[in-house]
Amino acid sequence: MTEPVAANDVTETTQAATKAAVFAAAERLFALHGFQNVSVRDITAEAGVNLASVNYHFGSKDALLFEIFKRRTSELNRERARMLHEANDRHQGKPPVREILAALFTPPLKWASPDNDRRISVQFIIRSRSEGTAEMRDALVNDVSHLARFADALIAARPDLPREIVYWRLHFCLGMVHNNRFAEFDRLHVLSDGATREGDTEALLKRMLDFAEAGFLA
Amino acid sequence: MTEPVAANDVTETTQAATKAAVFAAAERLFALHGFQNVSVRDITAEAGVNLASVNYHFGSKDALLFEIFKRRTSELNRERARMLHEANDRHQGKPPVREILAALFTPPLKWASPDNDRRISVQFIIRSRSEGTAEMRDALVNDVSHLARFADALIAARPDLPREIVYWRLHFCLGMVHNNRFAEFDRLHVLSDGATREGDTEALLKRMLDFAEAGFLA
DNA sequence: GTCTATAGATGGATAGAC
DNA sequence: GTCTATCCATCTATAGAC
């Protein structure tokens, strides 16, 4: 507060840059190698900053993990909600199943494109479902408000189906999305002897929608 | 070899019991808390055996992990192969899609029933897909022979579809199975406000088959 | 074979100098 | 604020007594 403005700006910029470098390095290493397999030393080495930076800027390793988790999931939820909202606008508040599912599938698929710099964020989010801390698991299990909007839209699109059937099918669709991990793509590539190419995001989205839409209309 | 037979029997029985206790405790703790979150100390304490037992009977913590992984995946693959074989017999070597998928879904679902003592094994297997060691991941990615039989059967059942479409749809079905984790069931339970009950294995199997069969016939 | 004691390595976190 | 040095907890693995 007593420092000159210019000095403050420089300091804050340096701070922000260090914090951002730690954030990016941690997300990348966590996504690639798993939460427990990455140490604070690995992160600070990758980021080219001091060992104490993690504790200074984030408080602890777990707090850093949770901050990445919060930011990425909230960005993903916001983009999905935006697409659902647009689908609502296009169809007088009652979009068909395929457009609801497109709002669910498209954001993580676009992010996971080989040329997208959010590719690593998707892997981080997927990994957090199985390897997250108790705090993260609690947030995942209990914060379902964004999913509730999708469930409500699907129920409105298929009022003839019992509600619990719709919930189960939404669960199946989420399973399709969560299975899009590097290792699973690799396995599919081996199994199909190279016939499946993960890189074509548009084609994969269409295939997922064809499959899930048909499953919903059963 | 120089010991009396009776003494040998007793020794071997004790040994086998200790080894089995370690195996069971490790599988249970790994499945519930994750591989990296369980120490050798946790395992031996849970099993009520000595700390050195893990290294004596299995060589190392990772070797123990891999032995559990090998046994459970091979048991699962065998049961799936048996069901696929029976479906082949019932349909002159060309079973319909639904029966192929039933052979894929039924074993893990039956195991995961609340009253089945293999319930924990399914969670272990699912967890090994994301948290496994490099050795386990390598085995998962490269050992696809059992899956190839399912892929071939599906291709034969839908010769009109391009092969890569069938591979992708098989990938989607596997995603449905791998999403059957405790935390995901809990989340679905919260989302549906109690309308979904995980316990009814037969009903869940039917729901999965309805969804996936429709997706395959799209 | 079983068990105790401990080696040897690594991790998260922090005090204190600058 | 940054960085070094270090504390202290925890882990796997093993040597050696019994």
Shared domain for A126 and A23, answered yes or no, is no
Going by pLDDT thresholds of 50, 70 and 90, the confidence category of residue A3 is very low
Final residue in a domain of this structure, among B30, B59, B88: B59
Q: Name the token pair of B54.
A: 């893990």
Judge whether residue B60 contacts strand D, using its CB and a 7 Å cut-off: yes
Any idea which residue has 């039917």 for tokens?
B206
Select from A165, A156, A153, A175 the least CA-distant residue to A105. A175
- CB-closest option in B163, B176, B191 to A147: B191
In this predicted structure, the answer to whether residue A2 has a pLDDT above a threshold of 90 is: no
Question: Which pLDDT tens digit goes with each residue over B72-131?
Answer: 999 999 999 999 999 999 999 999 999 999 999 999 999 999 999 999 999 999 999 999
A16 lies in a domain? yes
Q: Cα A193–B98–B212 angle (5° rounding)?
A: 70
Percent over 90 (pLDDT), chain A:
91
Final residue in a domain of this structure, among A59, A81, A100: A59
Shared domain for A78 and A160, answered yes or no, is yes
B2 lies in a domain? yes
Q: Running DSSP on this structure, what letter comes out for residue B50?
A: -
Shared domain for B43 and B105, answered yes or no, is no
Burial class (CB in 10 A: 0-12, 13-18, 19+), A61: middle
A151 lies in a domain? yes
A82 lies in a domain? yes
Going by pLDDT thresholds of 50, 70 and 90, the confidence category of residue B16 is confident
How far is residue B44 from each of residues B35, B37, B131, measured CA to CA in Å? 15, 14, 21
- Is residue A167 within 8 A of residue A151, CB to CB? The reply is yes
Q: Which residues of A touch B204 (CB under 8 A)?
A: 168
A142 CA to chain B: closest CA distance, Å? Answer: 7
Final residue in a domain of this structure, among B59, B82, B100: B59
B132 lies in a domain? yes
Here the CATH number for the domain that contains residue A48 is 1.10.10.60
Q: What are phi and psi of B168, to 5 degrees?
A: -65, -40
Shared domain for B96 and B158, answered yes or no, is yes
Using C1' positions and the CA of A15, the closest nucleotide is D1
Select from A60, A54, A104 the least CA-distant residue to A82. A104
Going by pLDDT thresholds of 50, 70 and 90, the confidence category of residue B2 is very low
Counted domains in chain B: 2
Q: How far is the CA of B45 from the C1' of D9 (A)?
A: 19
B134 contacts chain A (CB < 8 A): no
Mean pLDDT throughout A113-140? 96
A103 CA to chain B: closest CA distance, Å? Answer: 18
Shared domain for B193 and B130, answered yes or no, is yes
Question: Which pLDDT tens digit goes with each residue over A185-204?
Answer: 999 999 999 999 989 999 99
Domain that residue A106 falls in? 70-217
- Is residue A156 within 8 A of residue A107, CB to CB? The reply is no
B131 lies in a domain? yes
Shared domain for B27 and B89, answered yes or no, is no
Judge whether residue A16 contacts strand D, using its CB and a 7 Å cut-off: no
Are A191 and B163 in contact (CB < 8 Å)? no
Going by pLDDT thresholds of 50, 70 and 90, the confidence category of residue A12 is low
In this predicted structure, the answer to whether residue A5 has a pLDDT above a threshold of 50 is: no
Shared domain for B148 and B187, answered yes or no, is yes
pTM: 0.95
Shared domain for B187 and B115, answered yes or no, is yes
A122 lies in a domain? yes
Sign of the Cα pseudo-torsion (B131, B136, B141, B145, in order): negative
First to last CA, chain A: 65
A112 CA to chain B: closest CA distance, Å? Answer: 17
Shared domain for B24 and B88, answered yes or no, is no
Going by pLDDT thresholds of 50, 70 and 90, the confidence category of residue B13 is confident
Here the CATH number for the domain that contains residue B77 is 1.10.357.10
Judge whether residue B21 contacts strand C, using its CB and a 7 Å cut-off: no
Select from A104, A208, A102 the least CA-distant residue to A149. A104
Shared domain for A122 and A168, answered yes or no, is yes
Judge whether residue A49 contacts strand C, using its CB and a 7 Å cut-off: no
- Chain C bases under 7 Å from protein CB? 1-6, 10-16
- CB-closest option in A177, A191, A217 to B144: A191
- CB-closest option in A186, A191, A217 to B214: A217
Shared domain for A19 and A49, answered yes or no, is yes
Shared domain for B89 and B114, answered yes or no, is yes
A65 lies in a domain? no
Question: Which pLDDT tens digit goes with each residue over A46-65?
Answer: 999 999 999 999 999 999 99
List the single range of A100-104, A146-150, B86-90, B194-198 with lowest mean pLDDT. B194-198
The Cα–Cα gap between A208 and A211 comes to 5
